[in-house]
Amino acid sequence: MRRSIAALVTMTTAITVACATEASCDGYCGTLVVLNSSDPNTVFQPRTSVIDEQPLVEQLFVRLAELTPDLETAGDSGFVPELASRWIREDEVTLVFELNPAARWHDGSPLTAEDVVFTFEVYRDPEVSATSAVLVERIESVAARDDHTVVVRYTMPYLEQLYDVAHHLFILPKHLLDTIPRGNIATHPLMTQHPIGAGPYRMERWGDDGTIELVADTNFFLGRPGIRRIVFRTVSDFGAKLTALASGDGDFVEFLGGLPAIERIEQSTQARVVSYASPVYNYLGFNFRSPADTTQPHPLFSDVRVRRALSLLVDRAAVNDAVTGGHGMVAQSPMTPMIRLTSVAIPAYEQDTARALQLLRDAGWTDSNGDGVLDRNGRTFSFEMLYPSTSGVRQTTAISLEEMFRNAGLDVDVNAVDFSTYVEQQQSGSFDTFINSQFTTPSPSSVKTAWIAGATFNWGRYHNPRFEAAVKRFENATSPNDRQQALEDAFTTMHEDAAAIWLYYLNMNAGVHTRFENVSLRPDSWSVTVWQWRVRNGAWEPRDLVGN
Amino acid sequence: MLGGIGRRLILAVLTVFLVVSLTFLLLQIAPGNPYAAYIEGCGLDPNCLTVVQSRWQADEPVYRQYFAYMDRLVHGDFGNSISNGRPVLALFAAALPNTIILGLGAMAVTFGLGVVLGTLQAVRAGTIIDHATSLITLTAFSIPVYWLGLMLAAVLAERLGWFPSLGAYDPSMYNQMTFAQQVANRLHHLVLPAISLGIVGAAWIARHHRAAMLDVLTSDFVRTAHAKGISRSAVLRRHVMRNALTTLITNFGLYVPIVLSGVVLVEAVFDWDGIGQLTANAVNRRDYPLVAGASVLTATGVVLGNLLADLLQLVADPRQRSRP
């Protein structure tokens, strides 16, 4: 008994002493523990679908060039060299890239122009079904002039040529992937357990518990990363994630969510809040097709008068206040604050209940029986509002909207479903309206992925030829003036169509441990600049010294 | 006795089979698509959806999927997780030790604290100590496990920094630690989850053990032992505790399913990489192979727990051995 007590005391003392000992770094140190929401499945970028996969891809692989913090996607000047040390415009449809001869794959093999050619072929291969294939469709060909020179030809002149080839393609190792059937690359161990890239970090360990450890490639051709290791941990429960950040058990959370979480981290001594422009817009989407038969128009929302009326019923400022508590902006279009469009005039719907009710009367909706709910030909104005139960932000949105619609005599059935069911209903079109968040890229052309007929994320099946023609003109524009005019036409069309009810842009607020410096977060991708972060001298934690 | 064990084993196998079949059926009925993680990236691309579904044989009739699955199960093939493609057995092999550690830690708290409190109450029956302890155990019994975990994490981890708030160990340093450091690290991480999961059980055990102890304390043989001049502590140790043990053993068997259900909540709060969290995430994602694997393991665990309790009863109480 006495020996057991003595052993317990000794162990406790050892733990206490170990915790109290001040850590110091004699060499190359630093560990960043990133708290993810879900387990990454693959780092094969053409087929990534889980949001937590992209930061991994960006540490393991490289692009030809990288956007500057200005996020200017038009022209050739808004980029800094990465794999390509420079680029030359031979004519209006040809760009020539000179690759950095020091670039190496993590297995030591040299990275050559053939890898870039291979990458382009993979992204365009129908067997791969790359989600970004549509974004590179105007690249006609990619060829190797020699080992370190790549010639890219486009189908036509347009302003975002460099952006298309530099931003959307993460260069893949031909010597490792060439013999693998293209349709199987995403699930191959080279993409799910032991990836080989050329990025600033290489894979050290991908555990069955979801923990992923990356170690800095000290020979990275652009310079040694500032932090020696990055550990990705999956924490499914958001409360547990916040507690870990606030207590110093984790170092980074990409998105803190609403006001309570932000205030909690602001009060913490271990972490601080870092804000950056939002790459996300939130909206109430309409289903333009009938839930019962997607070949038929929706009985309510195929009528533009109804859509405009609902748009006029919403007090966006009030919704923004309720949801974001001042940490957001009212949205008027699917263009997020990170996109450089300050000069483009975007029309907006301001709340006007009288006009909304008039529009509904014009469409035949009145309260004929005095029960407080609008009706037409014996049918009440009744619809479902769908959102995933995992989102507290969308729940608050639903409550706000439901009240505004109910006050106008609309019967709304708010339906919170688990995420798996939400995705299934979106896929099958079995919903009336839905509250959604959509990420954008730095380019306005990202509107294509969600609002063009047949687009991957066009859940509401929206289709307007005039809008699509304007988007096409924007993409093909060769001057900033043409570009601006085309964008204004596109958004004016969307506005007249009341394609959706744009609600808010939620400011992105990340939580970062206080010991990290040189922290900057690019809105479209927080992890692009991680390799430049540092641990402040003297602020070391014990985990920073692992491998020192 | 052997016949009794044999019967129990057959019943155990049948129970597991029924649980797995029922789980499969419920997952089929539940709304939601198990391939959501893949098809979300597909969007509205019909080719992509077809590729994903044929890869997982989801286009087969349900009854064929069921028989195919049961056939693989009988041959020890639990299949691969739909979410991440990894073998189900490998995922559970990684998670099971963490759950066992948590379960054992919780049991240590439950039975250690419960027996101490129950014994204290029994020997001080009717005093203010007994009444105060009853009030404490009743309160503790009413505390939701999830809430208790959150409060412990908020105060002892976040505010005071005495304990880690996350995980079964620190993965950022674990592989570089010595064995002793790894043990210490795991124990350090175990404290808060074990207390969260064990406190409620301790209250329950305390109340049962108090009753069992009081029952034995008033027996004739105990009075005889006192009359023979044996010391109070010796009577407690050698006679009273031993005979109150049978109730404890019964509670042990009943406690296993309680731990397994509470483990899901505690593992979520502390992000403990055990079977509970693995199962909860699998259910949310409709990951059929993982959920089915979890049901097999959980059902087997419960059945084995009860079987173990029965066996321990036979060992502890010779009178049980002659009963069928």
Number of Cα atoms under 13 Å in the Cβ half of residue B112: 10
Query: Rounded mean pLDDT of B60-70?
Result: 81
Q: How many CB pairs under 8 A join A and B?
A: 154
Is the Cβ pair B83, A41 closer than 8 Å?
Answer: yes
The yes-or-no verdict on residue A250 having pLDDT over 70 is: yes
pLDDT, position A17: 44
The ipTM of this complex is 0.77
- How far is residue A361's CA from residue A427's CA, in Å, rounded to a whole number? 33
User: Which helix (H) or strand (E) element contains residue A516?
Assistant: strand A516-517
pLDDT, position A3: 54
The model's confidence at residue A464, banded by pLDDT at 50, 70 and 90, is very high
How near does any CA of chain A get to the CA of B35, in Å?
8
pLDDT, position A353: 96
Do residues A426 and B36 touch, judged by C-beta distance below 8 A?
A: no
Query: Rounded mean pLDDT of A136-147?
Result: 95
Write the single-letter amino acid at A251: D
Q: Is A46 on the interface with B (CB under 8 A)?
A: no
The yes-or-no verdict on residue B11 having pLDDT over 90 is: no
- Cβ-nearest to A47 among B41, B47, B176: B41
User: Which of A105-114, A237-246, A318-327, B9-18 shows the lowest mean pLDDT across its residues?
Assistant: B9-18
The model's confidence at residue A19, banded by pLDDT at 50, 70 and 90, is very low
Is the Cβ pair B164, A249 closer than 8 Å?
Answer: yes
Pairing of strands A229-234, A31-36: parallel
The yes-or-no verdict on residue A20 having pLDDT over 50 is: no
SS3 A95: strand
The yes-or-no verdict on residue A273 having pLDDT over 60 is: yes
| CA-to-CA separations, B207 to A33, B12, B51, B130, B188, in angstroms, rounded | 44, 30, 58, 11, 29
Mean pLDDT (chain A) is 90
Q: Is A15 on the interface with B (CB under 8 A)?
A: yes
Is the Cβ pair A208, B91 closer than 8 Å?
Answer: yes
The yes-or-no verdict on residue A22 having pLDDT over 60 is: no
pLDDT, position B40: 55
| pLDDT tens-digit readout, B104-132 | 999 999 999 999 999 889 888 899 999 99
Which of A16, A213, A236, A247 to mutate to probe the B interface, most B CBs <10 Å? A247
How near does any CA of chain B get to the CA of A24, in Å?
16
Is the Cβ pair B175, A210 closer than 8 Å?
Answer: no
Is the Cβ pair A240, B188 closer than 8 Å?
Answer: no
How near does any CA of chain A get to the CA of B26, in Å?
15
The model's confidence at residue B244, banded by pLDDT at 50, 70 and 90, is confident
CA A409 to mean position of chain CA atoms: 36
pLDDT cut 70: percent of chain B above it: 85
Do residues A413 and A386 touch, judged by C-beta distance below 8 A?
A: no
The yes-or-no verdict on residue A263 having pLDDT over 70 is: yes
SS3 A205: strand
Which of A10, A420, A437 to mutate to probe the B interface, most B CBs <10 Å? A420
Which of B44, B52, B162, B187 to mutate to probe the A interface, most A CBs <10 Å? B44
| pLDDT tens-digit readout, A62-93 | 999 999 988 999 998 889 999 999 999 999 99
CA B274 to mean position of chain CA atoms: 10
Is the Cβ pair A39, B83 closer than 8 Å?
Answer: yes
pLDDT cut 90: percent of chain A above it: 69
pLDDT, position A518: 94
Which of A17, A38, A209, A544 to mutate to probe the B interface, most B CBs <10 Å? A209
Residues of chain A contacting B196 with CB distance shorter than 8 Å: none
Output the 3-class SS for A412-475. Answer: EEEEEECHHHHHHHHHHCCCCEEEEEEECCCCHHHHHHHHCCCCCCCCCCCCCHHHHHHHHHHH
Do residues A345 and A488 touch, judged by C-beta distance below 8 A?
A: yes
Residues of chain B contacting A547 with CB distance shorter than 8 Å: 176
Is the Cβ pair A11, B184 closer than 8 Å?
Answer: yes
pLDDT cut 70: percent of chain A above it: 95
The yes-or-no verdict on residue A114 having pLDDT over 60 is: yes
